[in-house]
Structure 1
Protein backbone atom coordinates (compact mmCIF):
# COMPACT_ATOMS: atom_id res chain seq x y z
CA UNK A 1 0.00 0.00 0.00
CA UNK A 2 1.43 3.39 -1.03
CA UNK A 3 2.12 5.94 1.68
CA UNK A 4 -0.05 9.07 1.43
CA UNK A 5 1.80 12.35 1.68
CA UNK A 6 0.15 15.37 3.29
CA UNK A 7 0.84 18.19 0.84
CA UNK A 8 -1.47 20.66 2.61
CA UNK A 9 1.34 22.72 4.20
CA UNK A 10 3.08 22.99 0.81
CA UNK A 11 -0.18 23.79 -0.97
CA UNK A 12 -1.00 26.51 1.60
CA UNK A 13 2.48 28.01 1.20
CA UNK A 14 2.17 27.92 -2.58
CA UNK A 15 -1.25 29.61 -2.41
CA UNK A 16 0.16 32.40 -0.24
CA UNK A 17 3.07 32.87 -2.65
CA UNK A 18 0.65 33.15 -5.57
CA UNK A 19 -2.14 35.19 -3.98
CA UNK A 20 -0.26 37.56 -1.70
CA UNK A 21 3.22 37.70 -3.18
CA UNK A 22 2.21 37.60 -6.85
CA UNK A 23 4.64 34.83 -7.79
CA UNK A 24 4.20 32.82 -10.99
CA UNK A 25 3.36 29.13 -10.96
CA UNK A 26 6.80 28.35 -12.43
CA UNK A 27 8.62 30.32 -9.71
CA UNK A 28 6.52 28.71 -6.97
CA UNK A 29 7.13 25.22 -8.36
CA UNK A 30 10.87 25.81 -8.41
CA UNK A 31 11.00 27.28 -4.92
CA UNK A 32 9.03 24.53 -3.15
CA UNK A 33 10.18 21.67 -5.40
CA UNK A 34 6.88 20.53 -6.90
CA UNK A 35 5.86 20.32 -10.54
CA UNK A 36 4.15 23.13 -12.40
CA UNK A 37 1.31 20.68 -13.08
CA UNK A 38 0.77 20.30 -9.34
CA UNK A 39 0.68 24.06 -8.93
CA UNK A 40 -1.80 24.21 -11.84
CA UNK A 41 -4.10 21.69 -10.13
CA UNK A 42 -3.90 23.52 -6.82
CA UNK A 43 -4.45 26.86 -8.56
CA UNK A 44 -7.86 25.75 -9.84
CA UNK A 45 -9.13 25.39 -6.27
CA UNK A 46 -9.86 22.26 -4.34
CA UNK A 47 -13.12 20.80 -3.07
CA UNK A 48 -15.31 23.68 -4.20
CA UNK A 49 -12.86 26.36 -3.05
CA UNK A 50 -12.46 29.36 -5.35
CA UNK A 51 -9.45 29.49 -7.65
CA UNK A 52 -6.22 31.16 -6.67
CA UNK A 53 -6.75 33.66 -9.49
CA UNK A 54 -10.03 34.76 -7.90
CA UNK A 55 -8.40 34.87 -4.46
CA UNK A 56 -5.58 37.03 -5.88
CA UNK A 57 -8.12 39.43 -7.39
CA UNK A 58 -9.98 39.67 -4.08
CA UNK A 59 -6.71 40.18 -2.20
CA UNK A 60 -5.52 42.95 -4.51
CA UNK A 61 -8.84 44.81 -4.40
CA UNK A 62 -9.27 44.65 -0.63
CA UNK A 63 -9.45 48.15 0.85
CA UNK A 64 -6.34 47.68 3.00
CA UNK A 65 -4.29 46.69 -0.05
CA UNK A 66 -5.60 49.57 -2.14
CA UNK A 67 -4.70 51.91 0.70
CA UNK A 68 -1.20 50.38 0.83
CA UNK A 69 -0.75 50.88 -2.92
CA UNK A 70 -1.91 54.50 -2.68
CA UNK A 71 0.36 55.19 0.29
CA UNK A 72 3.34 53.75 -1.59
CA UNK A 73 2.45 55.98 -4.54
CA UNK A 74 2.29 59.03 -2.27
CA UNK A 75 5.69 58.14 -0.84
CA UNK A 76 7.18 57.88 -4.34
CA UNK A 77 5.64 61.21 -5.36
CA UNK A 78 7.00 62.84 -2.20
CA UNK A 79 10.48 61.65 -3.22
CA UNK A 80 10.05 63.28 -6.64
CA UNK A 81 9.51 60.03 -8.56
CA UNK A 82 7.12 59.75 -11.49
CA UNK A 83 3.57 58.56 -10.84
CA UNK A 84 3.01 54.86 -11.59
CA UNK A 85 -0.76 55.04 -11.16
CA UNK A 86 -3.42 56.58 -13.36
CA UNK A 87 -4.91 58.92 -10.77
CA UNK A 88 -7.67 60.02 -13.13
CA UNK A 89 -8.79 56.42 -13.63
CA UNK A 90 -8.71 55.80 -9.87
CA UNK A 91 -10.82 58.90 -9.29
CA UNK A 92 -13.37 57.77 -11.89
CA UNK A 93 -13.59 54.29 -10.37
CA UNK A 94 -14.05 55.79 -6.88
CA UNK A 95 -16.84 58.04 -8.17
CA UNK A 96 -18.54 55.10 -9.85
CA UNK A 97 -18.34 53.01 -6.67
CA UNK A 98 -19.85 55.83 -4.62
CA UNK A 99 -22.60 56.29 -7.18
CA UNK A 100 -23.41 52.56 -7.16
CA UNK A 101 -23.48 52.37 -3.39
CA UNK A 102 -27.08 52.73 -2.29
CA UNK A 103 -26.38 52.89 1.41
CA UNK A 104 -24.21 54.96 3.68
CA UNK A 105 -22.06 53.02 6.13
CA UNK A 106 -22.77 53.07 9.84
CA UNK A 107 -19.36 54.69 10.36
CA UNK A 108 -20.28 57.65 8.15
CA UNK A 109 -23.71 57.97 9.80
CA UNK A 110 -22.07 57.91 13.23
CA UNK A 111 -19.62 60.66 12.25
CA UNK A 112 -22.41 62.86 10.90
CA UNK A 113 -24.66 62.29 13.92
CA UNK A 114 -21.76 63.06 16.26
CA UNK A 115 -21.11 66.34 14.48
CA UNK A 116 -24.84 67.13 14.51
CA UNK A 117 -25.06 66.36 18.25
CA UNK A 118 -22.17 68.72 18.98
CA UNK A 119 -23.80 71.46 16.95
CA UNK A 120 -27.22 70.84 18.48
CA UNK A 121 -25.79 70.93 22.03
CA UNK A 122 -24.79 74.53 21.41
CA UNK A 123 -28.18 75.41 19.90
CA UNK A 124 -30.42 73.73 22.49
CA UNK A 125 -28.86 71.28 24.97
CA UNK A 126 -32.19 69.77 26.09
CA UNK A 127 -33.26 68.90 22.57
CA UNK A 128 -29.75 67.59 21.83
CA UNK A 129 -30.05 65.14 24.74
CA UNK A 130 -33.48 64.02 23.54
CA UNK A 131 -31.98 63.09 20.12
CA UNK A 132 -29.28 60.84 21.60
CA UNK A 133 -31.52 57.81 22.15
CA UNK A 134 -32.91 58.08 18.60
CA UNK A 135 -29.40 58.35 17.17
CA UNK A 136 -28.34 55.26 19.10
CA UNK A 137 -31.34 53.29 17.82
CA UNK A 138 -30.71 54.41 14.24
CA UNK A 139 -27.03 53.40 14.45
CA UNK A 140 -28.02 49.95 15.73
CA UNK A 141 -30.43 49.66 12.79
CA UNK A 142 -27.64 50.64 10.33
CA UNK A 143 -25.22 48.10 11.82
CA UNK A 144 -27.83 45.34 11.54
CA UNK A 145 -28.41 46.26 7.88
CA UNK A 146 -24.70 45.88 7.12
CA UNK A 147 -24.54 42.34 8.51
Structure 2
Protein backbone atom coordinates (compact mmCIF):
# COMPACT_ATOMS: atom_id res chain seq x y z
CA UNK A 1 0.00 0.00 0.00
CA UNK A 2 1.38 3.36 -1.03
CA UNK A 3 1.52 6.12 1.58
CA UNK A 4 -1.04 8.87 1.19
CA UNK A 5 0.38 12.31 1.94
CA UNK A 6 -1.82 15.34 2.29
CA UNK A 7 -0.89 18.76 0.95
CA UNK A 8 0.18 20.00 4.37
CA UNK A 9 2.64 17.11 4.77
CA UNK A 10 4.05 17.63 1.27
CA UNK A 11 4.49 21.36 1.89
CA UNK A 12 6.17 20.61 5.19
CA UNK A 13 8.53 18.08 3.59
CA UNK A 14 9.48 20.51 0.81
CA UNK A 15 9.95 23.55 3.10
CA UNK A 16 13.76 23.19 3.22
CA UNK A 17 13.93 22.72 -0.54
CA UNK A 18 11.86 25.85 -1.17
CA UNK A 19 13.84 27.83 1.41
CA UNK A 20 17.10 26.96 -0.32
CA UNK A 21 15.64 28.04 -3.65
CA UNK A 22 14.42 31.33 -2.18
CA UNK A 23 17.80 32.06 -0.59
CA UNK A 24 19.65 31.32 -3.83
CA UNK A 25 17.28 33.51 -5.84
CA UNK A 26 17.50 36.33 -3.28
CA UNK A 27 21.31 36.23 -3.28
CA UNK A 28 21.42 36.44 -7.07
CA UNK A 29 18.85 39.26 -7.06
CA UNK A 30 20.91 41.14 -4.45
CA UNK A 31 24.07 40.86 -6.55
CA UNK A 32 22.24 41.96 -9.70
CA UNK A 33 20.73 44.91 -7.83
CA UNK A 34 24.14 45.82 -6.45
CA UNK A 35 25.60 45.73 -9.96
CA UNK A 36 22.84 47.99 -11.26
CA UNK A 37 23.07 50.51 -8.42
CA UNK A 38 26.78 50.50 -7.52
CA UNK A 39 28.52 48.42 -10.19
CA UNK A 40 30.13 51.15 -12.28
CA UNK A 41 33.37 51.45 -10.25
CA UNK A 42 33.98 47.71 -10.58
CA UNK A 43 33.53 47.50 -14.35
CA UNK A 44 36.59 46.80 -16.50
CA UNK A 45 35.33 48.04 -19.92
CA UNK A 46 36.98 45.45 -22.14
CA UNK A 47 37.12 46.08 -25.90
CA UNK A 48 33.92 45.29 -27.78
CA UNK A 49 35.48 42.48 -29.87
CA UNK A 50 36.57 40.65 -26.75
CA UNK A 51 33.19 41.18 -25.08
CA UNK A 52 31.41 39.85 -28.16
CA UNK A 53 33.42 36.64 -27.96
CA UNK A 54 32.62 36.14 -24.29
CA UNK A 55 28.98 37.15 -24.76
CA UNK A 56 28.58 34.56 -27.53
CA UNK A 57 30.25 31.89 -25.42
CA UNK A 58 28.12 32.71 -22.36
CA UNK A 59 24.88 32.70 -24.39
CA UNK A 60 25.83 29.28 -25.78
CA UNK A 61 26.51 28.05 -22.24
CA UNK A 62 23.15 29.37 -21.07
CA UNK A 63 21.34 27.70 -23.97
CA UNK A 64 23.08 24.39 -23.31
CA UNK A 65 22.51 24.60 -19.54
CA UNK A 66 18.71 24.34 -19.69
CA UNK A 67 18.36 20.97 -21.44
CA UNK A 68 21.44 19.65 -19.63
CA UNK A 69 19.91 20.62 -16.28
CA UNK A 70 16.67 18.90 -17.26
CA UNK A 71 18.55 15.72 -18.17
CA UNK A 72 20.64 15.74 -14.99
CA UNK A 73 17.58 16.33 -12.84
CA UNK A 74 15.66 13.53 -14.56
CA UNK A 75 18.54 11.11 -13.96
CA UNK A 76 18.95 12.18 -10.35
CA UNK A 77 15.24 11.81 -9.57
CA UNK A 78 15.30 8.30 -11.06
CA UNK A 79 18.37 7.48 -8.98
CA UNK A 80 16.59 8.76 -5.87
CA UNK A 81 13.81 6.30 -6.61
CA UNK A 82 16.06 3.28 -7.08
CA UNK A 83 19.22 3.73 -5.01
CA UNK A 84 19.55 1.50 -1.98
CA UNK A 85 19.83 2.99 1.46
CA UNK A 86 17.64 4.19 4.24
CA UNK A 87 17.56 7.93 3.54
CA UNK A 88 14.05 9.40 3.62
CA UNK A 89 12.53 10.72 0.40
CA UNK A 90 12.81 14.39 1.35
CA UNK A 91 16.54 14.02 1.96
CA UNK A 92 17.03 12.14 -1.30
CA UNK A 93 15.12 14.79 -3.24
CA UNK A 94 17.33 17.56 -1.85
CA UNK A 95 20.26 16.63 -4.11
CA UNK A 96 18.48 16.97 -7.48
CA UNK A 97 16.91 20.23 -6.33
CA UNK A 98 20.19 21.78 -5.22
CA UNK A 99 22.13 20.60 -8.29
CA UNK A 100 19.54 21.94 -10.73
CA UNK A 101 19.23 25.27 -8.90
CA UNK A 102 23.00 25.74 -8.80
CA UNK A 103 23.20 25.09 -12.53
CA UNK A 104 20.55 27.67 -13.38
CA UNK A 105 21.88 30.18 -10.86
CA UNK A 106 25.18 30.09 -12.71
CA UNK A 107 23.40 31.54 -15.73
CA UNK A 108 22.71 34.68 -13.69
CA UNK A 109 26.36 34.78 -12.60
CA UNK A 110 27.41 34.71 -16.27
CA UNK A 111 25.44 37.92 -16.73
CA UNK A 112 27.11 39.48 -13.68
CA UNK A 113 30.52 38.52 -15.08
CA UNK A 114 29.74 40.06 -18.46
CA UNK A 115 28.45 43.22 -16.80
CA UNK A 116 31.62 43.55 -14.74
CA UNK A 117 33.72 43.01 -17.86
CA UNK A 118 32.00 46.01 -19.44
CA UNK A 119 28.84 44.76 -21.10
CA UNK A 120 25.60 46.68 -20.64
CA UNK A 121 22.61 46.41 -18.35
CA UNK A 122 20.64 44.72 -21.12
CA UNK A 123 22.89 41.66 -21.02
CA UNK A 124 22.80 41.56 -17.23
CA UNK A 125 18.99 41.71 -17.32
CA UNK A 126 18.72 38.96 -19.94
CA UNK A 127 20.92 36.55 -18.00
CA UNK A 128 19.20 37.39 -14.70
CA UNK A 129 15.84 36.79 -16.41
CA UNK A 130 17.05 33.44 -17.75
CA UNK A 131 18.18 32.47 -14.26
CA UNK A 132 14.77 33.48 -12.89
CA UNK A 133 13.12 31.32 -15.55
CA UNK A 134 15.37 28.46 -14.48
CA UNK A 135 14.34 28.91 -10.85
CA UNK A 136 10.70 28.62 -11.93
CA UNK A 137 11.27 25.60 -14.18
CA UNK A 138 13.42 23.67 -11.72
CA UNK A 139 11.70 24.57 -8.45
CA UNK A 140 10.95 21.76 -6.00
CA UNK A 141 7.95 19.93 -7.46
CA UNK A 142 5.52 17.89 -5.37
CA UNK A 143 5.00 15.44 -8.25
CA UNK A 144 8.69 14.54 -8.37
CA UNK A 145 8.83 14.25 -4.60
CA UNK A 146 5.77 12.00 -4.53
CA UNK A 147 7.25 9.78 -7.22
CA UNK A 148 10.26 9.21 -4.94
CA UNK A 149 7.99 8.56 -1.93
CA UNK A 150 5.94 6.06 -3.97
CA UNK A 151 9.00 4.26 -5.32
CA UNK A 152 10.52 3.94 -1.86
CA UNK A 153 7.22 2.66 -0.44
CA UNK A 154 6.98 0.03 -3.18
CA UNK A 155 10.59 -0.99 -2.56
CA UNK A 156 9.88 -1.39 1.18
CA UNK A 157 6.80 -3.52 0.45
CA UNK A 158 8.74 -5.82 -1.87
Question: Quick check: TM above 0.5?
Answer: no
* TM-score normalised per structure 1: 0.27
**Which structure would you say has the larger RCO, counting Cα contacts within 8 Å and 6 or more residues apart?**
2
Structure whose alpha-carbon radius of gyration is higher: 1
More helix by share: 2
